[in-house]
Amino acid sequence: MDIDRIERRDHISVAEFVRNFLQPGIPVVLGSALTEHWQARHDWVVDGKPNFARICELYGSAIVPVAHCNTPYFNDQKRTEMPLCKFLDLWQRSPEEQLYCKDFHFTKHGPPDYIAYTPLPHVSDDWLNLFYDLHPELEDNYRFCYLGGNGTWTPFHQDVYRSYSWSANICGEKKWVLVPPGQDHLFTDGTGQTVYNLFDYDDAKFPRLGELKAIEIVQRAGEVVFVPSGWWHQVRNTSDTISINHNWANEYNLPVLYSHLRHSIEAVHHALRDIPRDEEFASIAQVVLRSDSGMDYRWFFAFVSTLASEYISALHSNQSIRESSLSTFDSYFTSPQTIRFALSRISMTLDLLLQDDVSSTIDGLVEQIDALKARLDETIRPEK
């Protein structure tokens, strides 16, 4: 593998982050000074190690997903569930078992007024988590905590919905390998299967993997890694490590999310090629799409439509953005110029949805897209 390293940035404005990293899709490590004030960095850590007793006190009764890093399961690892306190106990007593608590929705647990962290302003333009905050009935979000000992790891993957991720180390150290896009042919075998572990694979199946160009990051305590949309990556904890991460999406990667939706429905159609194309087919395909990729066309439209409505009402109401649901976004993202850009990206995505032959197979969807597009175009029409 041809490994490159990337820069660390201790001081970087939001505008520079957007211009040089978010928009072009380039990874970066943001310095630990930016997370210095987080409660989690003090409260969850003692002498640079996890403060097991405190974490157990805060979140111990939560039932958490646990990956068994020594046991592959399809292209992931076997997973079980257990109370967090039990996991913390096993981690300390049997580190060789390589148990790794992943995707723990920790913000749903813990004392109600306890604020462990606040996302950096650079990554505050987070439509995915705002969408779930505005739809509490869906009882979901993409805010996670990962906890695991030395050697625990995450196999080679791309993130859900092709979202971005940011990941902040609370304590410990991670080694990341990030793969710039356009190299899928080097890590995909003849059956379409992608490699599970970049450091232990069958040469006969992946004869060209050695040609891969990749970026290695050593992420230390407090540092935040930005993973651009669609980049494949593999991660290993090289000491006892706790991290907080979000999957997120916004105006800059919305087209990537849509194109993933389209590719995924095409894959579903291919998988269902022997099923008759009768009146049931479209809804069966959407159910399969939802279970394979976590989203379907209605979900995607609800996501886009929720954000569009929030922007439109923030623009039209007399209250300031600071009092609206967009108040958690840094002011860079709520400037009139950025809002206009966000709305034009949504409008463009609605056009793609209207041109997509799948949309018309879903009851009432085209009418809803048309109505939203009319509201949006009315809002962004240049003033005379």
Ligand X SMILES: O=C(O)CCC(=O)C(=O)O
Q: Which is nearer to Fe ion, 224 or 326 (CB)?
A: 224
Residue 99 β-bridge partners: 68
**Of these, 69, 227, 307, 353, which contacts ligand X (CB under 6 A)?**
227
Q: Which is nearer to Fe ion, 27 or 50 (CB)?
A: 27
User: Which uninterrupted H or E stretch holds 179?
Assistant: strand 174-179
Selection from ligand X, Fe ion, none that 146 binds (CB < 5 to 8 A by kind) is ligand X
Cα–Cα dist 159/295, whole Å? 13
Q: Which is nearer to Fe ion, 159 or 223 (CB)?
A: 159
For the chain, where are the E strands, in sequence order? 2-5, 8-9, 28-30, 45-46, 49-50, 63-73, 76-83, 99-104, 143-148, 153-157, 164-171, 174-179, 213-219, 224-227, 232-237, 241-248
CB of 382 to ligand X, least distance (A): 39
Q: Which is nearer to ligand X, 143 or 233 (CB)?
A: 233
* Residues within window 151-190 making contact with Fe ion, judged by CB under 5 A: 159
Structure token digits, residue 379: 């809002």
∠ CA 36-327-141, nearest 5°, is: 75
CA–CA distances in Å: residue 375 to residues 268, 308, 311, 321 = 32, 9, 11, 19
Residue whose Cβ sits closest to Fe ion: 159
Region binding ligand X by CB under 6 A among candidate stretches 2-10, 89-97, 227-235, 296-304: 227-235
Amino acid identity at 353: L
CB of 263 to ligand X, least distance (A): 20
x/- track of binding to ligand X for residues 135-174 (CB under 6 A): -----------x-------x----x-----x-x------x
Residue numbers at the binding site for Fe ion (CB under 5 A): 159
Contacts with ligand X by CB under 6 A lie at: 146, 154, 159, 165, 167, 174, 227, 233, 235, 243, 245
